[in-house]
Amino acid sequence: MSTYTLDELAQRFGLQSSGDPATAVHGVCGLKPGKPGHLGFLSNPKFRDELASTAASIVIVSPRDAPALKGAGLIAADPYLAYARIAALFDPDRDFEAGVHPSAVVDATATLGTGSFVGATAVVEAGAQIGEGAYIGAGCTVSRDAVIGAGTRLVARVWVGPRVTLGARCQVQAGAVLGSRGFGNARGPQGWEEVPQLGSLVVGDDVEIGANTCIDRGAIDDTVIENGVRLDNLIQIAHNCRIGEHTAIAACTGIAGSTRIGRRCMIGGAVGINGHIEIADDVIVLGRAMVTGSITTRGVYGSGLPLDDAREWRKTVARVRRLGRMEARLQALERHTRIPVGTQEDDKNV
C-alpha cells in the first residue's frame, strides 16, 4: 500500500495545495462520508456542501471551490481529470512482472517485446508480435500474425483474430472478440452461403474496448477503430465500420456494417445504428435511439420513448395507432367549419 503526502502529490502533478503539506493518503474515497487517510474530489458544484462534512484527508477542488476547503486540498482546473491521474497511484492492478507463464503457449515464430507479459494458459500463435511492455492476460489468444502495440493490456480471455493490429497503450477487457468473421452471407440455391471475410481489423493507439464487446473484421478492406476511441461493454461493431478518433460509445450499442462514425462523437447505451450510413464529427446520440440514416451536422439526437405506468402506456400505444383516424377527424372538422387549412399531408407520400 503506497502512501503519498499532500506535498508530494502537489509536486508530482504540478498542482497548488492548501493545508498541512504532510497530510498523507493511501487510497481514494467519495466525499460522503469520506474516509480519513483517503483522497476525494469535488467536481460537480451540486455537491459543494459535502466539503464541510467529509472525512477525506485531501480533497481535489477547482479554484472556485478552494475557499470552502476545511482541511487539506489540491487545487486543479479540472478536479476530475486531476483525480483520474492521481488515483492511478493507488491502482493495485497496474504493475506486473515481465515474462511468460509456463502454461502459456507461445509459438516459436512469435516475437515478444521487452518487458512484455504472457499470462497463464494464454496462446500466442505463429508470427504474432507482442509489443514492449504489453500485457497478455490469462486465457487470451493472439492469433496468427496479429500485432499488439507497446504497453497495450489485454486483461484476460480476449480473442484477437488473425492479422488484427492493435496500437500502443490500448486496454481490452475480458471476453472481447476482436476481428471475428463479419456477418456476410449470400443467398445460394440451397440456402445461405458464406461470403469470406478477407479484411482485418485495425485498432489505433490509446483505445479502450469493453468486456465481451465484439468487433468484426472487414469483408474486403479493414474495419478501423481510430486513436483514442472508448468502447464500453457488450458493444457490437460490424464489418467495415470506421469509428473516428476519441469517439466514446456506451454499453449494449450495435452498429451495422460499413457505417462511419465521426470524431469526438458520444453515442449512448443500447443505441442501434444502421449500416452504410455516416455520422458527422461531434454528434451526440442519446441512449436507446435508433439511427436509420446519416447524420450530417453536429448536434444532439434521440428517439427513445421514456417509461410510463403500464396501463397509461397501453392507452398511449393505442392512441398512437389511432393517429391516422385522428387526422381524418381533424380534416373532417376543418372541412365542416371551412377554416383555412394549410397543405394536407398525404400518407401515400411518406
Catalytic residues: 239
Q: Which is nearer to a second copy, 181 or 260 (CB)?
A: 181
Q: Which is nearer to a second copy, 67 or 339 (CB)?
A: 339
Contact 31, 68 (CB under 8 A): no
> What is the nearest approach in angstroms of a second copy to the Cβ of residue 192?
5
Cell numbers at residue 76, please? Answer: 486543479
> What is the nearest approach in angstroms of a second copy to the Cβ of residue 48?
18
> What is the nearest approach in angstroms of a second copy to the Cβ of residue 263?
10
Residue partners of 123: CB distance under 8 A and separation at least 6: 104, 105, 106, 140, 141, 142
| Chain centroid to CA 256 | 17
Contact 119, 97 (CB under 8 A): no
> What is the nearest approach in angstroms of a second copy to the Cβ of residue 275?
9
Q: Which is nearer to a second copy, 67 or 336 (CB)?
A: 336
299 burial class (0-12, 13-18, 19+ CB within 10 angstroms)? exposed
Q: Which is nearer to a second copy, 10 or 155 (CB)?
A: 155
- Smallest CA-to-CA distance from 183 within 164, 172, 196 is with 196
312 burial class (0-12, 13-18, 19+ CB within 10 angstroms)? exposed
> What is the nearest approach in angstroms of a second copy to the Cβ of residue 292?
4
Give me the DSSP letters along 131-174: -TT-EE-TT-EE-TT-EE-TT-EE-SS-EE-TT-EE-TT-EE-T
> What is the nearest approach in angstroms of a second copy to the Cβ of residue 134?
16
Cα distance between residue 304 and residue 90, in whole Å: 39
> What is the nearest approach in angstroms of a second copy to the Cβ of residue 19?
21
Cα distance between residue 250 and residue 82, in whole Å: 23
Cα distance between residue 132 and residue 114, in whole Å: 5
Contact 140, 160 (CB under 8 A): yes
**What are the phi and psi torsion angles at 317 (to 5°)?**
-60, -40
Q: Which is nearer to a second copy, 24 or 270 (CB)?
A: 270
Q: Which is nearer to a second copy, 67 or 306 (CB)?
A: 306
Please measure the distance between the N-terminal and C-terminal CA atoms of the chain and give it in whole angstroms.
65
Q: Which is nearer to a second copy, 228 or 262 (CB)?
A: 228
* 3-state secondary structure (DSSP) of residue 284: strand
